[in-house]
Structure 1
Amino acid sequence: MLDKDFEQLEKKFKPMIFHVMKRLNIYQNKQEFYQIGCIALWEAALRFDKNKGKFSSFAYSYIAGRMKTELTKQGLQKNNHDLVKEIVDYEEAYLEDFSVLYSRSIIENLSPLLTNNQLKWLKGYCLYGKAPNEIAKEESTSIAAVKAWRRDALKKLRSKQIKEIIK
């Protein structure tokens, strides 16, 4: 089939391609599906046997079949992508929970060295990532007081061999 012949064929069957797209509720990637329809039309023209019926019926079923195949393929890819994302999210949550548990056990080992207020700062900062102003608001105290807890806690922890305490 010559390019010129196909251009005429495309003009003639363009409404059919759009009809199939509408019938299959294709509302995204319209240009991509139009191209799939054109390729299917080309292949239908190459494979058509005059003895087996009308070309328009053959072309319609060929175009619809190719578009349905592509829709199925894209649906499977989306499902696989969603499944992988769900697994990754689960693993991240698990690792985050594990790190929190690990951090809690370390903090429990450090607790005899610190005062209650210093321990409040350490837990708030290390376990929950809170800033001094957030801790101060929760404990109904000033930001300066929380910063003092932090300063004194760090001084105590630096003076001790933390590596020995953690073991």
Structure 2
Amino acid sequence: MEGKQKRFTFEEIFKQNELRIHYHIHRLNIRDPHHEYYQEGLVAMWNAYEKYEPDKGPLATYFNYTIRNRLIDLMRKQNREHEKDAIYLQEQSTRMKDGNYYRRHGTAYPVMQVADTPFPYEGIDSAALWKTIKDELTENQWKWVTYHVVEGLTITAIAEQEDTSREAVKSWGKGAKRKLRRITDEGM
């Protein structure tokens, strides 16, 4: 319709077809207090008017198809946004209400108390074993054992929590592993 003269202006077409937008909003059971869906329907009608090709079918059918699908797309988009918001709010609420987190720079990290950590091997005095291990390691190596091995935190999370680089945390781990191998090879 680019090269041809349009017989009707959009304003005339709009006056004749405005109720189509309301029809589809009602038909899809949409509550539209802020007229977002009405505006989306209006834009859809404009796009259909601009792209309409008379040899492909009636304009009314094209309006119905375009308006309905744009309203459904907007509903789906808003539903996804609401779901993401609800999940995020639930996670944040849980993190802020749960007292077992250490908060730093807006991020919550789990708090671990080594004394409460059970050792998985029965028959071994776990308190004595943990004390021996802790005595052999540096402070940072002990942090790596505590956070990475026992707590299961990632290297990145430990680096953020301790305000250091990932490479530094990896270095703590290498040193700790080396010393732990030596301890186990000696047979404790």
Range into which the TM-score falls when normalised by the shorter chain: 0.5 to 0.7
Tell whether 2:71 aligns with 1:67: yes
Tell whether 2:41 aligns with 1:76: no
Kindly state the Cα deviation for residue 90 of structure 1 after the two structures are TM-superposed: 1.2
How far, CA to CA, are the matches of 2:60 and 2:72 in structure 1?
Answer: 18
Q: Is the strand fraction higher in 1 or 2? A: 2
Kindly state the Cα deviation for residue 98 of structure 1 after the two structures are TM-superposed: 5.2
The aligned runs of 1:106-117 (5 Å cut-off) are: none
Query: Percent identity of the aligned residues?
Result: 21
How far, CA to CA, are the matches of 1:30 and 1:64 in structure 2?
Answer: 18
* Higher alpha-carbon Rg: 1
Structure 2 partner of 1:7: 11
How far, CA to CA, are the matches of 1:28 and 1:55 in structure 2?
Answer: 26
How far, CA to CA, are the matches of 2:100 and 2:51 in structure 1?
Answer: 60
Greater RCO between the two (CA within 8 Å, min separation 6)? 1
SS in 2 for 1:79: helix
Q: Is the helix fraction higher in 1 or 2? A: 1
The aligned runs of 1:5-154 (5 Å cut-off) are: 5-29=9-33, 31-94=35-98, 96-97=99-100
How far, CA to CA, are the matches of 2:67 and 2:34 in structure 1?
Answer: 14
Flag structure 2 segments of 5+ consecutive residues without an equivalent: 103-110, 113-188
Flag structure 1 segments of 5+ consecutive residues without an equivalent: 103-167
How far, CA to CA, are the matches of 2:16 and 2:34 in structure 1?
Answer: 19
Q: What is the TM-score when the length of structure 1 is the normalising length? A: 0.54
